[in-house]
Structure formats: C-alpha cells, structure tokens
Structure 1
Amino acid sequence: MTGVAACGGDDSDAPPAPTLTSTADAAAGGDTGSAITNGDKPPSIAALNELVATAVDPKVPRDEKIVLVQGSEKDPAIFDELVKARAENSDVDWVLVNPVISSGPKKARVKVRIETAGNPPTNAESTIVYDDGRWKLSNETVCNLLGLYQVQSAMCKPAS
C-alpha cells in the first residue's frame, strides 16, 4: 500500500508514505487500538492505515475483520474478495492520506490516494464512522474501493 504515496514523482504536496506497524500490534490494542476506540476524536492517519492493512491482510481471518468496516457483517466474505482482487490487480493501489477531518459527531473525512497504471495519482473523498465502540471505514468508502476492482458486495447499496 505504500507504493501509492511513493509514486507521486514530483508532486511536492504529496504526504509522506505512512509507516504501518504490524497487524498484531493493532489486534493487541496498542496505541493504534486505543486511537481506533476513542470516540472523542478521529484516529490518526497511521491508525487508519493500520486498520486498512489489517482488512486486506490475507493472514487475518475474516471473522476478525468484520469490526473494521461498517456493515461488513452483511457480507463477511467480502474481505476474501478484496484480498484476492488486490493480489490480482497489482496495477491498482490506494492508501489513506492526511488530513483526517472531523465532520460531525461520530464521522470524519479522509482522502484516499488512488493510483492505477498509466494514470497520475488521484485523491478521492472517503469517510470513517464511529460505530459500535470503534472507528471503522464507512461502507461507502469500502464499496467505492471495491468498485476499483469491479467487485460487488451485499453490503453495498446498488446504484440508483
């Protein structure tokens, strides 16, 4: 995931690539864990990228990933699909980038830097939500990312 931020070339306003800690640290509830469970303020970009790294880690069982994405209990197999899609589409990559901006109670905005082969990186608006005692990626954000891989999920609302 760090490849997206590193491929900006001469994009002088590009943020530095986030430093990701191990998924075991997040699961153990270290600093990242407390940032994710503090409903008083949105977590740091490093904590959010750790959440994303856990969600796409093929070694983490999908049962443990459900708490990371709003509404994913409707389709827990989506994590397997996401891991597979990322592996099969190495020319599509994304990472969350600063700033994390509070946008009301239990909600914040963050940018996702998306890079596809042959195209300059682009930033897309995304949201995180505080739900069931922790910050999660919103289902809207994950559904948009799944769209990059043309993967559909029961947790995503069909386009109207």
Structure 2
Amino acid sequence: MAIAAAALAVTATLAGCGSDDKTSTDSKASSTVSSSAAAAAPAPSAEALQALLTTFADPAKPAADKAKLVVGGDKRLTNIETMNQGLANYQVSFAVGEIKTDGNKADAKVSVTSPHGTMPDVPMSFTYADGAWKLSDAGACTILGMARANCQP
C-alpha cells in the first residue's frame, strides 16, 4: 500500500507540472488509475491456492514450470527436481482453509494428506506477484522439506 501511495503521489506531482493541455492531463490521470488498479491484489480463493499447491506437488510437472509458481523459484530448481523424483509414485493432496490476506500477502492453514496420513493446519504463505498468487519461498520450502528436498538458507 505504501508503494502504491507513493506512486500516486509522484504521479499527481508530475501531473501538476505538465502543460495546460487538457488531453495531456487526462491521459496522465487515466494512467494513474490503471496503475493503482494493477497494484491491487485480488483475494485468493481456497480453490485457487489448493490448485497451486496441487500443481507444485505434481511429480509429472517439470521443475522449470513449478519454479514459476514460487516467488524467486529459480533458486529452488534443484530442490524441486529432488521433490519430483521423491514424489514419482507418491500421492499428496491439499485442503486450504482459514485464509488471511494483507495486501499482496496471504497466509492459510493447509491440511496435507499423504499415504502416511493427514497433517492438519500447516501454515503456508503466498504472495501476489506478476499478476498471480504464488507460493512464498517459505511456503515452497515447507513442502520441499516434507518431500525431503530441504531448502538451504
């Protein structure tokens, strides 16, 4: 929110310094509106976050595709490849509940079900980036750790 407010303040200042030409001011004002609308993160649904987690844990999906689902995911490619190998014949599912959003951040409690049972209320964090909700690095590391593909600091 602070970044959006600062961007609006800078845009308003620049608009005030422009020429008296009405079309110039109108285009700057519409630019301001579209910029702030693009910065607002829509609230994530449980279904959307569950689909994200399911795709991330699917061993049939290439690691490079999964890396795009994680903020800074490129640095986790080796971990994701290890997870893919470990989950090759292993079924994992997720149920997302209790989502709390704050701007472009969301935290949820996730139940993780595997052949060994269900682990309820696993805290998972997400970030809205590049126009989509993504797993935060910490959230990815939680799942990677469960798959014995631990993240190194």
User: Which residue identity lines up with residue 81 of structure 2 in the other structure?
Assistant: D
8 Å CA contact retained: 1:85, 1:149: yes
2:129 aligned with 1:131: yes
- Give the corresponding residue for 1:57: 58
Deviation of the 1:39 alpha carbon: 4.6
* Bigger Rg, which one: 2
2:80 aligned with 1:82: no
What TM-score results when the alignment is normalised by the length of structure 2?
A: 0.61
Higher RCO (CA-CA < 8 Å; seq separation 6+): 1
- Give the corresponding residue for 1:145: 143
8 Å CA contact retained: 1:42, 1:100: no
2:82 aligned with 1:114: no
Kindly provide the CA deviation profile for residues 57-83 of structure 1, in whole angstroms up to 9, marking residues without a partner as x: 333332222220112111323322222
Q: Which moved more, 1:114-123 or 1:61-70?
A: 114-123
Unaligned runs of 5+ in 1: 1-36
User: What percentage of aligned pairs have identical amino acids?
Assistant: 26
Counterparts of 1:78 and 1:127, CA distance in 2 = 18
What TM-score results when the alignment is normalised by the length of structure 1?
A: 0.59
8 Å CA contact retained: 1:111, 1:123: yes
Counterparts of 2:65 and 2:116, CA distance in 1 = 35
Matched residues, number: 116
Deviation of the 1:124 alpha carbon: 1.4
Unaligned runs of 5+ in 2: 1-37
8 Å CA contact retained: 2:49, 2:96: no
Deviation of the 1:147 alpha carbon: 1.9
Counterparts of 1:140 and 1:73, CA distance in 2 = 14
8 Å CA contact retained: 2:59, 2:87: no
Q: Secondary structure at the match of 1:112?
A: strand
**Cα RMSD over matched residues?**
2.7
2:99 aligned with 1:100: yes
